[in-house]
Structure 1
Amino acid sequence: MSKITIDQKSVKTLFSEKKADFLIPDYQRPYAWGEKECQTLWDDLFLFAFPENNCDLFNGDDEYFLGPIVTFKNDEGKLEIIDGQQRLTTLMLLLRAFYAKYGSMKDDKAIKTSKMIEQCIWKTDEFGDPDKTALKINSEVATDKQKDEFLNILKTGVIPDNASSSYANNYRFFQQKIVSFQSEYSDWFSKLPVRIMNNCILLPIEAESQDTALRIFSTLNDRGKPLSDADIFKAQFYKFYSSKGQKEEFIQRWKDLEVLCDSIFHPITGTPMDEIFTRYMYYERAKQGIKSSTTEALRKFYEKNTYSLLKKDETFDNIIDLANFWNDVQNQSVERFSDRVLRRLFVLNYAPNGMWTYFVSVYYMANRNAAGSLDDEKFFDFLNKITAFIWAYAVTNPGVNALRTPVFAEMINIVNGQPVTFEGYLFHTQQVQNALNNYVFSNNRAITKSMLTWWEFQNPGQELLSLENALEIEHIFARKRQELEQSLSNPRNIESLGNKALLEKRINIRAADYHFADKAKYYLGGENSRKQKREGTKIKELLDLAAQISDFTEADIVQRNAKIIFGFIDFMHGNGLLSEE
């Protein structure tokens, strides 16, 4: 069990301790508090120190809780701040603003107050005298260009007139507040900083390791944006590229990558940047020959051997290249991909799980040429094969975890230049046919839309659709019709694949509860009763049905269902996934 130290402390006690040596690490986000947050803090502290605007109502035993500070002691003995960077930084600026004022005053209370503040801001000798070159806090925030400005403010109390960072603006704000306070409440002036230092409470939580500290932060923080794995990786890259004299170039490339990933990925958990690191991780796992179906947490994988993978020249370049590849997939780039490949990628976007994205990432990284291109014929064959396998596996072996074992083995084959065969995981024809016949293709199962998308794009006349299209599942023989007429001899046919198709959401809403002849009008489009143009569907099969038949009956459902199932089995056979035994 990880060791955690928790000990409530006043601002003065925490900051003035000999062990107080705080570090804002390079993976933290830049300082973000502005005047609004500083105004709130000032108002809260004032109301606490002078209840009901009365200095004498303050009880020396009262405490004001400022929040937790989560840290861990790094290898250099410094307390790396995982949570609390914003409030610690702001408190330091506030204390420094008080010190700038009190340091020039000669009365006893001012001198004593200055002495208290000195012990909070600077490291001191055994007599309590400050070394004004040694601050109690340091910042290494990777992309914060003004961090040196923060440290200079603490050291000197002076800011250039043209300084415009959040540090400088907040420091000026506190200076102005202190001047106004002194002018309006001169009799109370000596009490405010003392009451802040003695009676405002922080809850320092010191964890044994960075990992434990991050877990604590995630548990405590239900409002702020927690540090992602990618933030930790950014820090490692920053150190690596700084040592090569490429710090500024790295910062810009990282920002560009963040913007790109934000536009491509929308993961349910984690950040868009975490997603690209995850997809790249599977390529590196395959290169290392890792077949285990148990995947390590993202940061655990990259932190091996003190983040050695992130200290290689090619890693960041590869990740950027992979992100650009997925951007072209998302944008359906005709410059990079042929129409037939784009059609296969469209179908895979409706896969029953996300494993295909890792599979394709590994394939791309292992087979790209110097220009980032893939052999179209081989890539097309690969996409067909993994579509057939993933779809069949979703029906016969439900659950993405079951899919990992065969896919991880094939990822290793890919990086070793071997063809993808799924040897050892081939299907028997009767097994697949029975599974498809008995499977309940309800709308809430992802594989239902997957099968329908595959089927619609088996039609050579089906045009490529935009990935932005909102497609829903259409019951060609309406459920409402069955409820009213009870005309199906087998009620299960209403939910069979033979009765379902893809249809644009805007049309699906209007065509929901009509007889087929009425639905066909919506499929085909044209003019409505008010002579307004109504766009039809782009699903070729529905257009053909609407043009060729006047009704869609139970016999049509059964026949179409058989066509889909036998068509899929034939697709599997064509991709070499059916055993001859």
Structure 2
Amino acid sequence: MSKLNIDQKTIKLLLTDKHSDFLIPDYQRPYAWGEDECATLWDDLFSFAFPNDDCDAFASSADEYFLGPIVTFKNDAGQLEIIDGQQRLTTIMLLLRAFYDKFANMKDKQSVKVRESIAGCVWKTDEFDEPDMGALKIDSEVASDADKGEFLDILRHGSVEAGARSAYARNYAFFARKIADMASEWPTYIALLAARILNNVILLPIEAESQDTALRIFSTLNDRGLPLADADIFKSQFYKHFSAEGRKGEFVARWKRLEETANLIFKPTSGTPLDELFTRYMYYRRAKKGIRDTTTKSLRDFYSEGGYEILKQDATLDDLEALLDFWRRVDAQEGFSERVLRRLFVLSYAPNGMWAYLLSTWFLARRNEDGDLDDAELYGFLRYITGFIYAYSLERPGVNALRGPVYPALIDIVNGRDADFSGYLFDRETITGRFRSYQFTNQRRFTRSMLVWWAYSDPEQPLMDLDTTLEIEHIYARKRNEVHPLADRLNLEALGNKAMLEKRVNIRAADYQLADKRKYYEGYTNDKGTEVPGTAVRELVEISRRGDFTEADIEERTERIIAAFVDWLGELGLLRE
């Protein structure tokens, strides 16, 4: 069982402890508190120290204000690396330094004594408890924080240079103003406020025996905050590697570009955008290692193997940059042929995300020196994995089921062979029967997958932007069914009665008869003379021009979609003969 040191302490007891030597490590995020958070903290502390604006209503021996936990672990250098509490501890240090500076010219006994206490919180002390003005109690190595030096300078010198605009400078200036205003209005109370903050504001330091334990504690305690992402830990390993080679500045610049681009492209349901990039890269590195085991390690466990060996290789950051640029081009729909972009659009609606891992591995294994792929090979690969993933997901839903066939295929790809799913071929009658019995409800992702695939089986279907919001449209509308119900009620939710339609059109066209929908599908000019565009889904425009869409049309279209997909599987070599 992991050992923990937990001991509730006042700010003064925590920071004046001779063993208190805090480090904000390189993998932490930059300081993010603004004036709003500082104003809230100031108001809360003032209300706590002077209840109902009454100095005498405070019970110094009993009243406590809990500020929160500080989760740390002791690193190899003996410093307490901060996992949780960076923002509040940084802010408290700025506040204390502002008090210290204010008390510099105050000679009353209380102010002098409080200033001495603050000195022991900000600076390390010698054996006679004299502060060493060159040795701060806190240091920052945050790799992506260009302003961390300004924070340390403020603590050392108590002043903000002209033109300084960092969050540290703004917040320090805010506290200095609030303290000055209070000193001018209630000069006898300013030392009292500082003393009550030092002696009655409580922190809960939690010292874990390792980084992993500290991270787990943080995830448990701080479900409202932003826990350190796996990518933050990986950043620290890169940072150490590049720093050892004298390339720290280069790394910081490259990482910043990586982070900014990933934030624009990836929208993962869990984890950060950079975590998503590392996940896609992990599948490539797994394949390079020849790993077929379907039990997938967590990101952190995978990359930490061998003391983060993968992250100490220069090629890794190069690969990540190339992979991210590839996905940037996919997202921007640039640098690929029209036919490839159409396949990529269909895959963006795939039943699960396994296609992205296959494609990431294919790119890294097959790219040329310019980072490009052969168009014909890529087009064939995208068609093949689309057919397999769609059909396999119908038979065995869920991304976990795909690991069995996909992991060996990834190994084939990195070894220069084609992805081969010949060991998982489908039976024509069985797959057709599954389609016919499948409930294509709107809530199922596979419903959208098939409707997008069907739309782009039309060679004339124009390419839409990836950010187009598509929703499921009932061609035979639900409102219409309430007045003229279908003979078979299941046909209302049948695949043949559904299509994908842009949300902007769907809102207007939802409850109309088919004849009334035509102008919305085709586009029209409104009463103000403004051209209102129609849908880009060609099939819907064609259907609306027929004049009606009946129950027989639903049934016929359902069978046509199913037959077309199964025949396509045959073309791809995914059906048993």
1:559 Cα deviation after fit? 2.4
Q: Quick one: distance in 2 between partners of 1:458 and 1:174?
A: 64
1:487 Cα deviation after fit? 4.4
1:71 Cα deviation after fit? 1.3
Name the % identity: 58
Q: How does 1:399-418 map to 2 (within 5 A)?
A: 399-418=398-417
Higher alpha-carbon deviation: 49-58 or 284-293 = 49-58
1:178 Cα deviation after fit? 4.0
Q: In structure 1, what is the equivalent of residue 26 of structure 2?
A: 26
- SS of match in other structure, 1:187: coil
1:428 Cα deviation after fit? 1.6
1:109 Cα deviation after fit? 4.4
Q: Quick one: distance in 2 between partners of 1:47 and 1:103?
A: 25
Q: Quick one: distance in 2 between partners of 1:127 and 1:86?
A: 31
Residue 576, structure 1, aligned to residue 573, structure 2 = yes
| 8 Å CA contact retained: 2:486, 2:492 | no
Q: 1:510 aligns with which of 492, 508, 511?
A: 508
Q: Quick one: distance in 2 between partners of 1:554 and 1:542?
A: 16
> Cα gap change, 1:423/1:154 in structure 2, threshold over 3 Å: closer, same or farther?
same
- Whichever residue aligns with residue 302 of structure 1, its letter is Y
1:219 Cα deviation after fit? 3.2
Residue 320, structure 1, aligned to residue 321, structure 2 = yes
1:102 Cα deviation after fit? 4.3
Q: In structure 1, what is the equivalent of residue 141 of structure 2?
A: 140
Higher alpha-carbon deviation: 406-415 or 298-307 = 298-307
- Whichever residue aligns with residue 354 of structure 1, its letter is G
Higher alpha-carbon deviation: 375-384 or 206-215 = 206-215
Q: In structure 1, what is the equivalent of residue 494 of structure 2?
A: 496
Residue 430, structure 1, aligned to residue 412, structure 2 = no
Q: How does 1:54-453 map to 2 (within 5 A)?
A: 54-61=54-61, 62-102=63-103, 109-333=110-334, 336-453=335-452
Q: In structure 1, what is the equivalent of residue 12 of structure 2?
A: 12
1:60 Cα deviation after fit? 1.7
> Cα gap change, 1:523/1:155 in structure 2, threshold over 3 Å: closer, same or farther?
closer
Q: In structure 1, what is the equivalent of residue 548 of structure 2?
A: 551
- SS of match in other structure, 1:144: coil
Q: Quick one: distance in 1 between partners of 2:266 and 2:275?
A: 10
| 8 Å CA contact retained: 2:266, 2:276 | yes
1:416 Cα deviation after fit? 0.9
User: CA offsets per residue over residues 80-105 of structure 1, 9 Å max, x none?
Assistant: 11121122122223323333454566
Q: Quick one: distance in 2 between partners of 1:431 and 1:72?
A: 57
User: CA offsets per residue over residues 361-407 of structure 1, 9 Å max, x none?
Assistant: 11111111111111111111111111111110111111121112211
Q: In structure 1, what is the equivalent of residue 540 of structure 2?
A: 542
- Whichever residue aligns with residue 559 of structure 1, its letter is E
Unaligned runs of 5+ in 1: none
Q: Please report the TM-score for the alignment, with normalisation by the length of structure 2.
A: 0.92
User: CA offsets per residue over residues 107-129 of structure 1, 9 Å max, x none?
Assistant: 65455434423332233334433
> Cα gap change, 1:457/1:178 in structure 2, threshold over 3 Å: closer, same or farther?
closer
> Cα gap change, 1:195/1:536 in structure 2, threshold over 3 Å: closer, same or farther?
closer
> Cα gap change, 1:432/1:131 in structure 2, threshold over 3 Å: closer, same or farther?
same
- SS of match in other structure, 2:418: coil
> Cα gap change, 1:481/1:26 in structure 2, threshold over 3 Å: closer, same or farther?
same
Higher alpha-carbon deviation: 346-355 or 85-94 = 85-94
| 8 Å CA contact retained: 2:144, 2:256 | no
1:176 Cα deviation after fit? 4.4
> Cα gap change, 1:146/1:467 in structure 2, threshold over 3 Å: closer, same or farther?
closer
User: CA offsets per residue over residues 445-503 of structure 1, 9 Å max, x none?
Assistant: 11111112111211122222222322222233333333333343x33233222222222
Unaligned runs of 5+ in 2: none
- Whichever residue aligns with residue 313 of structure 2, its letter is K
- SS of match in other structure, 2:188: helix
- SS of match in other structure, 1:68: strand
Higher alpha-carbon deviation: 521-530 or 231-240 = 521-530
- SS of match in other structure, 2:309: helix
Q: Quick one: distance in 1 between partners of 2:243 and 2:471?
A: 50
> Cα gap change, 1:532/1:156 in structure 2, threshold over 3 Å: closer, same or farther?
closer
> Cα gap change, 1:544/1:204 in structure 2, threshold over 3 Å: closer, same or farther?
same
Q: Quick one: distance in 1 between partners of 2:168 and 2:516?
A: 66
- SS of match in other structure, 1:414: helix
**Paired positions, count:** 576
User: CA offsets per residue over residues 143-185 of structure 1, 9 Å max, x none?
Assistant: 2223223223333445544544333443344444444444443
> Cα gap change, 1:123/1:572 in structure 2, threshold over 3 Å: closer, same or farther?
same
Q: In structure 1, what is the equivalent of residue 40 of structure 2?
A: 40
Q: Quick one: distance in 1 between partners of 2:32 and 2:194?
A: 24
Name the Cα RMSD after superposition. Answer: 2.5
Higher alpha-carbon deviation: 149-158 or 441-450 = 149-158
